[in-house]
Structures are given as structure tokens and as C-alpha cells.
Amino acid sequence: MMAKRPSKPLIEKVRIMKRVFAALALSAAAPVAMIATAPVAMAQADDEEYQIPAPPEGMGQIIFYRTGGLAGAALGCAVFNVGEEDKLSSLASGRYFVLQSEPGERNFTVKSLETKDALTLEVEEGETQFVRCKIKAGFLAGRANISPSTEKEFRNKYKSPKLVDANDMAAEVAAMNYAETSPASGG
């Protein structure tokens, strides 16, 4: 009886598969990263720190953002008003959007296959608040988590923040974030 001789060790096959998977993931994300947008939410000159505009008079605003990273990179973080079926926006890894709001209590939720998380904020006139969505490892899929954050944490995470594409926002939210484009054009 002859013993079978493997053509390559199993460990080498696993390494090759990991490299192929990483290359596929990067190539799939590249077209999204190269889409040109005209965001108005954050402006910056070449050598200056970006400026976060003040909310409109009589309003407050919330900047929702999603931290980058490999955990849950393929999943979006869909943000909803509590009790509504239509999402405000989906946050891809490393993206943000701005929601302008009248002062008062606001309730938000994020959903994933395994879990739902909620957050209540008190919006105040003239104030900018920050909310971070993070995708944590789950049993079958990522688990979305939403929590309050700070401007300092947001700035530490993003040296050049990228706005969510207009076609991933509700029309009302897209109008708040894009001045020169219509939501129907997708940016």
C-alpha cells in the first residue's frame, strides 16, 4: 500500500487562502473608496484641521460615525429612529453622517441579525453630539452597538472623515449632508 504524498502542506494552503481573501476584500472596497463626493458637512483646507459646522439656528445636530477595522467590515450599521422602518442611513466602516434635529429627546436604534441596540439623546439647540456605531463579533454575524462619543474621539479616529454616500441615506438626511447634489443622483 502506497502512502499519498500531499502536493503542498495544509498550512501553506491556508496561508494562500488568507492572502486571496484579503486581496478580494480590498479589491471589493476600492471602488467605494474612489467615489467622488461633494460633502458639505466637513470642510478643510489642505493643511488645516477640518471644521465641523455649527447646526442651523434653532437646531442641534448629531454626527453618527462608524469606526473602521476588520471586525464586521462587510456589514453596514443601519441607524433608525425608534419605531420607524425606514433607516436614516447605513454606516460603512470609516464613514459618518450628520443629522440635524430640533431640540428634545431623540431615540435611535441599530439592528443586526443577532441583536438590536438603542440609544436616547437629549438634543440641545446649538449643540453637536457624537454617536459611534461599532460592529462587534457575534455568533453568526456582527453585533451592532451604538453609544455616545466625543468630538475628541471622532477627531482621533478620522484625520480625513468620509461622508456616507447619498444613496445610503434617507432623502431628508442626504439633503442635510450634500448641498450640490440631489439624493436621487447618488452623489
State the fold for domain 60-181. Immunoglobulin-like (2.60.40)
For 51, residues 6+ apart whose C-beta sits below 8 A from its C-beta are 42, 43, 44
Grid cell locating 37? 463626493
Residue pLDDT, tens place only, 130-147:
999 987 765 555 678 899
Cell 437646531 belongs to residue: 59
Q: Which of 45-49, 66-70, 120-124, 145-149 is predicted least confidently?
A: 45-49
For 89, residues 6+ apart whose C-beta sits below 8 A from its C-beta are 64, 78, 79, 97, 164, 168, 169, 170, 173
State how far Cα 81 lies from the chain centre: 16
The full set of domain ranges for the chain reads 60-181
User: Do 78 and 111 touch, CB atoms closer than 8 A?
Assistant: yes
For 105, residues 6+ apart whose C-beta sits below 8 A from its C-beta are 120, 121, 122, 123
Residue pLDDT, tens place only, 55-98:
999 999 999 998 765 554 456 788 999 988 888 998 888 889 99
Grid cell locating 22? 484579503
Does this model's pTM top 0.95? My answer is no
Neighbours of 124 (CB within 10 A): 14
Averaged confidence pLDDT in the chain: 74
